[in-house]
Amino acid sequence: MSAVPNLTTALTGPLQEIEAHFLSNQTEIEHWFRSQWMETQAPFYGSVDLRNAGFKLAPVDTNLFPAGFNNLNPAFMPLCVLAVQAAIEHLCPKARRLIIIPESHTRNLFYLESLATIREIIEKAGLQVRIGHIDPEADDRTVELPSGRTMLQEKLERRDNHLVIKDFESCIVLLNNDLSDDRPAILDGIDPDQAIAPPPAMGWSNRLKSDHFAHYKRVAAEFSEMVEIDPWLIDPHFRRCGKIDFKAREGEDCLADNVNDVLDFIRGKYREYGIDEEPFVIAKADSGTYGMNIMTVRDAAQIRELNRKQRNKMARGKGGSTVTDVLVQEGVFTFETWGDQNAIAEPVIYMIDHSVVGGFYRVHTKRGVNENLNAPGMHFEPLAFADSCTLPDQAAAPDAAPNRFYAYGVVARLALLAAAREIHSLTPA
């Protein structure tokens, strides 16, 4: 079976225009990225969920504390090692050691395999790595993983203004915990000579998706001007509602109005491009949630018709936080399918420092083209990219696999650049 999903769409309009534009502007694109990364340092790492509707290729989620590294093609391990070496050169060239802070309270083996893979990449880059958890109640713990690796998590401690594990002090602390709960006090006031990357200010207790997508909108506009495309082709439109209380039914008007506005905007664009699909929006908590509280909405009336169970579900985010801010985002169809069953496939792109290091498809047999594929309890099969996203082929058709992967890598890097600017704006110079 092919390792590349089919892109199936009846459209003939702007299809392949994105890939063709990226391909013919490759030199300008790479030149532009180089200058951008000189201005704004890339985050240590990140993953970006993309949706590919053929006529539109856009990021829908940017994760600065990525898991899923175990889903990448092992053939790209050397690429990851090289990119980590660049990240260390940028962050703390004199580093010999690195502490990883993992997700709290998790014995999820998929997550722990990803954590073990991150550790392995950094060890191969030549650093000593230990895992320091921040669960207040737990002590050291060891888990044997299905891959045969052993995962020892030790208790992270504070010594003066430094984070340590027993006598192990590190120049770099790599955060792999999205801090959905409140930002833990142990991370406050750390001496600047110990770099925490990405900075805790980017944790979900502090960060809003709408901030990210506002940055992304500017990045997409600058980029689109250069390659001369309509920014809408790579940018999901959005609005934001604050002060929503689903349980008390406060803020519903604001939400319904914004859903209407976004749907109207999409309808206009679909007319402009002759796209014969029914627009939809995704309503989700503006703070990060790992796919909780996500609603597909095709009509503003749906908002007013939520039953109690649905409202309760929308009301609570990850880590027990109450949702008050809601992002109303243009829904982007996924028209990539894989295999005989035409399972929906959603690309997830991984980056370390400013380099794309691989990715995989979330292949999902039980979801529709307009549903979120990163939902709680959802089951997907990871399909590792056979391609590194860095080998565009000018001699091949715009939609040939290397060029489709290159397009993924370009849009994912735009989202990473937005995140880099977000970090820059949230953290003191």
Using CB under 8 A as the criterion, which residues of the chain lie in contact with a copy of itself when the complex forms?
A: 26-31, 34-35, 38, 75-79, 81-83, 85-86, 88-89, 93-97, 123-128, 355, 388, 390-392, 394
What gap in Å lies between CA 395 and CA 210, rounded to an integer? Answer: 39
Nearer to a copy of itself (CB atom), residue 81 or residue 373: 81
d(CA 163, CA 156): 7
Strand partners, 176: 102
Output 48 or 127, the one with its CB closest to a copy of itself: 127
Q: Is 316 helix (H, G, I), strand (E, B) or coil?
A: strand
CB of 136 to a copy of itself, least distance (A): 31
Shortest distance, position 106 Cβ to a copy of itself, whole Å: 25
Nearer to a copy of itself by Cβ, of 294 and 410: the residue is: 410
Q: Which is nearer to a copy of itself, 42 or 369 (CB)?
A: 42
Least separation in angstroms between residue 155's CB and a copy of itself is 23
Q: Least Å distance between CB 159 and a copy of itself?
A: 22
- The CA distance from 328 to 258, in Å, is 7
CB of 259 to a copy of itself, least distance (A): 40
Q: Please tell me whether residue 19 adopts helix, strand or coil conformation.
A: helix
User: Closer CB to a copy of itself, residue 289 or residue 403?
Assistant: 403
**Closest among 312, 288, 295, 303 to 103, alpha carbons compared:** 288
Distance of alpha carbon 192 from alpha carbon 374, whole angstroms? 35
The least distance separating a copy of itself from the CB of residue 245, rounded to whole angstroms, comes to 48
Is the Cβ of residue 151 or residue 285 nearer to a copy of itself in the bound state? Answer: 151
CB atoms within 10 A of CB 126: 12
- Beta-carbon count within 10 A of 248 CB: 10
Burial 149-163 (b: 16+ CB within 10 A, else e): bebebbebeeeeeeb
Closest to a copy of itself by CB, 82 vs 378, is: 82
| Cβ-based neighbour number of residue 166 at 10 Å | 12
> What's the closest the beta carbon of residue 21 comes to a copy of itself, in angstroms?
15
Q: How far is the CB of 338 from a copy of itself (least distance, A)?
A: 23
> How does DSSP assign 112-141, residue by residue?
HHHHHHHHHHHHHTT-EEEEEE--SS---E
Q: State the minimum distance, in angstroms, from the CB of residue 123 to a copy of itself.
A: 7
In the complex with a copy of itself, the residue whose CB is nearer, 51 or 119, is 119
Asked whether the beta carbons of 365 and 380 are under 8 A apart, the reply is no
Minimum CB distance to a copy of itself smaller for 98 or for 156: 98
Q: How far is CA 122 from CA 80, 214, 429, in A?
A: 9, 32, 26
CA–CA separation, 57 and 170 (whole Å): 40
